[in-house]
Amino acid sequence: MKIFIAGGTGFVGEHLVAELQKSGHSVRLLVHSRRTLPGNAEQVAGDVTRLESFAESVAGCDAVINLVGIIREFPFRGITFKKMHVSATANMLAAAAGSGISRYLQMSALGVRPQAVSAYHQTKWRAEELVRASALEWTIFQPSLIYGPHDAFINMLASQLRLAPVMPVIGSGSYRLQPIHADDVARCFTRALEMPGTIGQTYELCGNDRLSYEELLDMVADVLGRVRPLKPHLPLGLMKLIIPVFQKIPPFPITTDQLQMLLEESIGGNEWQQVFGFVPRGLREGIAEYLGKT
């Protein structure tokens, strides 16, 4: 199959392109400008937020995959959740339908729901609703925290732990996560393309390791061979006052949305394992593969 992908040059996209090609599929990537990328994927220039810039480029493909997503808004640069999640999804659906392509896969997020508090979850849910309302043969994936060699979150924690064995924790630190490796996410997307039974289905994608934020910090320290960090607790009420002020500064590490999602936890079921027929990589083993090399 020839697969058209938006968001294919990002962190998860790198893993998906490699998995698709390993499985014998060819890939056409939507990019802002052509450049040298790993592998031999075809590139077409366009902007996912401007349908006219890429609609014709979808022709000739057998399926469309939308990986586009942002975790933080930069309104002054025109980067908003509404634009990148809702509008981009509407454009991808229109491009697929306009080219007569029926198969469509959407990257969403764990925790999306109609009455979500965070704008991130709200817009991801609105995007899901657009997909479900379409006439396409869709599958939606809702992954938990995704990790891998070029991830932002685990690598950030590791970088901080290398500097000093002190990691401030907002609130109790007992909120839980259930990370999944990017390779496992890529395998699910790839297998879904050849599994008609996944059409019209939504899958939560979580690993088998469910641990608190504090436990995750200790695991990262263990893998690095460092002493487990001191974890001074920052009062949640105070941080809820501070973060809205400082999040407007791009280098500030957390936003109100991200705090909300952290407190809500990122955990789910493992029913997807029976559908796709494999067990996800263990978290300790997975992060050791790349943290141990730096």
Amino acid letter for position 138: W
pLDDT at residue number 109: 97
pLDDT at residue number 52: 97
pLDDT in tens, the chain (294 residues): 999 999 999 999 999 999 999 999 999 999 998 888 877 899 999 999 999 999 999 999 999 999 999 999 998 889 999 999 999 999 999 999 999 999 999 999 999 999 999 999 999 999 999 999 999 999 999 999 999 999 999 999 999 999 999 999 999 999 999 999 999 999 999 999 999 999 999 999 999 999 999 999 999 999 999 999 999 999 999 999 999 999 988 888 899 999 999 999 999 999 999 999 999 999 999 999 999 854
Pairing verdict, β 42-45 and 26-31: parallel
pLDDT at residue number 294: 46
Angle between helices 236-246 and 256-264 (to 10 degrees): 150
Domain map (residue ranges) of the chain: 2-150+180-207+268-280
pTM > 0.75: yes or no: yes
Domain 2-150+180-207+268-280 sits in which CATH superfamily?
NAD(P)-binding Rossmann-like Domain (3.40.50.720)
Amino acid letter for position 235: P
The three state secondary structure string of the chain is CEEEEECCCCHHHHHHHHHHHHCCCEEEEEECCCCCCCCCCEEEECCCCCHHHCHHHHCCCCEEEECCCCCCCEHHHCECHHHHHHHHHHHHHHHHHHCCCCEEEEECCCCCCCCCCCHHHHHHHHHHHHHHHCCCEEEEEEECCEECCCCCHHHHHHHHHHHCCECCEECCCCCEECCEEHHHHHHHHHHHCCCHHHCCEEEEECCCCCEEHHHHHHHHHHHHCCCCCECCEECHHHHHHHHHHHCCCCCCCCCHHHHHHHHHCECCCCCHHHHHCCCCCCHHHHHHHHHCCC
